[in-house]
């Protein structure tokens, strides 16, 4: 990814009209779709202290997104659009015990569109996960997943990008069953995104 970032051509000094036109040519906007494949690793934060024995786990998954707004903000630094994203994931725990989980989330993603090949974003969302991590501090079975984070697409062609992001993730069952200390992690994810 570092090689792609350092060798990607950068935009010269463009007029505000050129920046505006560039935003509308980008593969972002109302009705534009993209899908992605990726994976990564989530490290325990131990928000409830070391006795909570939060899990560390790997994740792999796929996403499908559709633009729900056209680009807004013109050529300003904050200009961008909003995507609605559906995401499915498979989790495989490695610490403190092995286990697995799977589920899906709905997220909203804001894409900043003023940076040419480099498109940073922020996202936030919620979902459900069927957990089987065998933790003494978190009941297995149906759980909720809350998450949010920051990342970026780095376009390698006009419609394909490498994607990397960080997310804070919280898994709990809202005290429907005890124990419910929650699983809190800092997740690092990488993958590829295809725009249509």
User: Structural domain boundaries of the chain?
Assistant: 40-195
| CA atoms of 77 and 79, how far apart (whole Å) | 6
Per-residue pLDDT band for 53 (boundaries 50, 70, 90) equals low
CATH class of 40-195: mainly beta
Q: Which residues of 24-62 are buried (b: 16+ CB within 10 A; e: fewer)?
A: eebbbbeebebbbebebebebbeeeeeebbbbebebebe
| CA atoms of 122 and 109, how far apart (whole Å) | 6
Percent residues over pLDDT 70 in the chain: 83
> Rounded mean pLDDT of 57-77?
93
| CA atoms of 148 and 17, how far apart (whole Å) | 33
Per residue in 85-107, pLDDT (tens digit) is 999 999 999 888 899 999 999 99
pLDDT averaged over every residue in the chain: 86
């Amino acid at each position: 990814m570092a090689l792609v970032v350092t060798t990607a051509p950068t935009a010269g000094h463009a007029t505000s009209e050129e920046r505006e036109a560039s935003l509308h040519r980008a593969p972002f906007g109302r009705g534009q779709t993209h899908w992605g494949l990726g994976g990564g690793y989530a490290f325990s934060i131990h928000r409830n202290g070391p006795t909570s024995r939060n899990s560390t786990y790997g994740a792999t998954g796929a996403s499908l997104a559709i633009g729900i707004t056209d680009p807004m903000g013109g050529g300003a630094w904050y200009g961008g659009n909003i995507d609605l994203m559906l995401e499915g994931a498979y989790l495989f725990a490695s610490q403190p015990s092995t286990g697995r989980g799977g589920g899906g989330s709905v997220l909203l993603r804001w894409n900043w569109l003023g940076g040419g090949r480099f498109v940073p974003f922020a996202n936030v969302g919620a979902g459900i996960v069927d957990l089987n991590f065998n933790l003494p501090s978190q009941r297995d079975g149906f759980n909720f997943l809350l998450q949010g984070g920051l990342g970026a697409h780095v376009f390698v062609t006009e419609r394909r990008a490498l994607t990397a992001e960080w997310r804070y993730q919280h898994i709990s069952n809202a005290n429907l069953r005890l124990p419910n200390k929650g699983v809190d992690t800092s997740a690092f994810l990488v993958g590829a995104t295809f725009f249509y």
